[in-house]
């Protein structure tokens, strides 16, 4: 209920467009990696069982090391898939710690797949595995340049080494290296373009969202202190009245001799004093209270209480905190006092708001008449 965003000099938006884009990008990448590793968990055991283990059981010792290598690589892929699945369930901050693993894990998985592609060259197979997976990684994962290049280049290096070492056909070697290199560069370009396309679109959406939030904030908050304005106070009071079963205290506060502060120290210091008082009031009341700048040097506070005595005690605490504090200006500390009027809303605060506000206003007038720096209650 209580407003959490008091304005200070140079206050930035609560969340920048860049951070929102990064968060959305991370969400998408993590979700897509989750799908990938889910299917790897299912598919890899079948590959190990029906291809790798079957190959290990063959009598041809010349090819046994090949099948053993396949077995180790596919097992590593399955273990990484299992580890990722378990890790994402245990790490609570999925947009924090797990994000740093995305490019690392992606790069490592592509290296393993490139090693499998290298082994395929012994049997004269093509480069389908390598092309399929770098294309999948480049298109599915949103990575800006040069992050995509850093992620893809280790697997490309393994691909080149594998072709040079294991491919014995000169024509196939040249053809595969040429095609693989073209695909590698194409994937880097496509990946960079897709990220930029996504970035530009989401940036526009985020900027609209932030602009709407800013407009909404401006329409509901005081531009100086960041407290609720009159219109939003009445809206929040209506919500509080519907949700609370207790009585509602209404505290009207006015800064004593505020004109003298403006005249002596200047209006800029006067503005900082208003912000200072707003922060003291916000910190003094609980989150279910509504705090607003009612106008000029007046503040209006409302919140659930059990009795008028509790409301008066709260008002006295706020008054005492302000009186025992001071605002440190360049011209010296400024002692500030306030006068407060308190009323208790016991009926329909929406229909009879003017009545209860007048009670608090009359009590405030009485507090000023009796010497200021004091709390007075309404005469029921």
What is d(CA 90, CA 116) in angstroms, rounded to the nearest whole number?
31
Determine, yes or no, domain membership for 157. yes
What is d(CA 175, CA 170) in angstroms, rounded to the nearest whole number?
8
Determine, yes or no, domain membership for 224. no
Query: What's the per-residue H, E or C state across the chain?
Result: CCCCCCCCCCCCCCCCHHHHHHHHHHHHHHHHHHHHHHHHHHHHHHHHHHHHHHHHCCCCHHHHHHHHHHHHHHHHHHHHHHHHHHHHHHCCCCCCHHHHHHHHHHHHHHHHHHHHHHHHHHHCCCCHHHHHHHHHHHHHCCCCCCHHHHHHHHHHHHHHHHHHHHCCCHHHHHHHHHHHHHHHHHHHHHHHHHHHHHHHHHHHHHHHHHHHHHHHHHHHECCCCCCECHHHHHHHHHHHHHHCCCEEEEEEEEECCHHHHHHHHCHHHHHHHHHHHHHHHHHHCCCCCEEEEEECCEEEEEEEECCHHHHHHHHHHHHHHHHCCEEEECCEEEECCEEEEEEEECCCCCCCHHHHHHHHHHHHHHHHHCCCCCEEECCC
Identify whether residues 207 and 270 lie together within a single domain: no
Q: Which domain holds residue 355?
A: 230-377
Range with the largest mean pLDDT of 1-5, 80-84, 196-200, 297-301: 297-301
Residues 6+ apart with CB under 8 A from 24: 202
Determine, yes or no, domain membership for 71. yes
Look at residue 98 and tell me whether its pLDDT is greater than 70. no
Q: Dump pLDDT digits (tens) for 244-302.
A: 888 999 999 999 999 999 999 999 999 999 999 999 999 999 999 999 999 999 999 99
Identify whether residues 78 and 176 lie together within a single domain: yes
Q: The domain spanning residue 267 has which CATH number?
A: 3.30.70.270
Q: Dump pLDDT digits (tens) for 190-226.
A: 999 999 999 888 888 878 888 888 899 999 999 999 9
Identify whether residues 252 and 124 lie together within a single domain: no
Determine, yes or no, domain membership for 345. yes
Identify whether residues 197 and 324 lie together within a single domain: no
Identify whether residues 206 and 259 lie together within a single domain: no
Determine, yes or no, domain membership for 99. yes
Please compute the mean of the pLDDT values over residues 152-180 and round it to a whole number: 93
Determine, yes or no, domain membership for 11. no
pLDDT of residue 11: 41
What pLDDT band is residue 42 in, cutting at 50, 70 and 90?
very high
Identify whether residues 39 and 106 lie together within a single domain: yes
**Rounded to two decimals, what is the model's pTM?**
0.59
Identify whether residues 250 and 208 lie together within a single domain: no
Domain boundary among 152, 185, 212: 212
What is the end-to-end Cα distance of the chain in Å, rounded?
A: 28
Identify whether residues 152 and 237 lie together within a single domain: no
Cα Rg, the chain, nearest whole Å: 34
Total of domains in the chain? 2
Identify whether residues 204 and 60 lie together within a single domain: yes
Domain boundary among 164, 179, 212: 212
Task: List 345's β-bridge partners, or say none.
Answer: 248
Angle between helices 61-90 and 17-47 (to 10 degrees): 140
Identify whether residues 372 and 266 lie together within a single domain: yes
pLDDT of residue 16: 64
Determine, yes or no, domain membership for 373. yes
Identify whether residues 186 and 302 lie together within a single domain: no
pLDDT of residue 129: 84
Determine, yes or no, domain membership for 4. no
Identify whether residues 204 and 353 lie together within a single domain: no
pLDDT of residue 338: 97
Domain boundary among 152, 178, 212: 212
What pLDDT band is residue 352 in, cutting at 50, 70 and 90?
confident
Active site residues: 297
């Amino acid at each position: 209920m209580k407003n959490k965003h008091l304005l200070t000099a140079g206050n930035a938006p609560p969340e920048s467009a860049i951070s929102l884009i990064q968060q959305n990008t991370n969400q998408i990448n993590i979700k897509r990696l989750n799908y990938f590793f889910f299917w790897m968990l299912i598919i890899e055991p079948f590959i190990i069982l029906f291809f790798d283990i079957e190959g290990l059981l063959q009598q041809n010792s010349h090819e046994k090391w090949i099948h053993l290598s396949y077995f180790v690589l596919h097992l590593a892929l399955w273990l990484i898939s299992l580890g990722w699945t378990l890790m994402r369930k245990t790490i609570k901050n999925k947009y924090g710690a797990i994000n740093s693993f995305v490019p690392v894990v992606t790069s490592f998985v592509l290296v393993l797949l490139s090693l499998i592609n290298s082994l395929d060259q012994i049997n004269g197979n093509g480069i389908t595995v390598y092309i399929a997976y770098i294309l999948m990684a480049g298109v599915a994962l949103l990575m800006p340049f040069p992050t995509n290049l850093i992620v893809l280049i280790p697997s490309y290096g393994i691909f080149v080494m594998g072709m040079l070492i294991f491919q014995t056909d000169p024509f196939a070697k040249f053809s595969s290296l040429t095609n693989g290199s073209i695909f590698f560069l194409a994937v880097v370009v496509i990946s960079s373009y897709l990220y930029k396309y996504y970035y530009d679109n989401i940036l526009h959406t985020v900027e609209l969202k932030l602009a709407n939030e800013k407009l909404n904030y401006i329409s509901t908050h005081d531009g100086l202190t960041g407290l609720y304005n009159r219109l939003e106070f009445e809206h929040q009071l209506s919500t509080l009245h519907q949700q609370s079963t207790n009585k509602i205290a209404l505290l009207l506060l006015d800064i004593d001799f505020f004109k003298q502060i403006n005249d002596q120290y200047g209006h800029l210091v006067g503005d900082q004093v208003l912000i200072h008082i707003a922060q003291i009031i916000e910190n003094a009341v609980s989150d279910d209270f509504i705090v607003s700048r009612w106008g000029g040097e007046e503040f209006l506070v409302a919140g659930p209480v059990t009795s008028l005595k509790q409301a008066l005690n709260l008002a006295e605490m706020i008054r005492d905190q302000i009186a025992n504090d001071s605002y440190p200006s360049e011209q010296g500390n400024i002692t500030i006092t306030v006068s407060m009027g308190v009323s208790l809303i016991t009926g329909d605060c929406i229909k009879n708001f003017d009545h209860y506000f007048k009670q608090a206003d009359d009590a405030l007038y009485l507090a000023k008449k009796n010497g200021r720096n004091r709390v007075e209650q309404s005469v029921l």
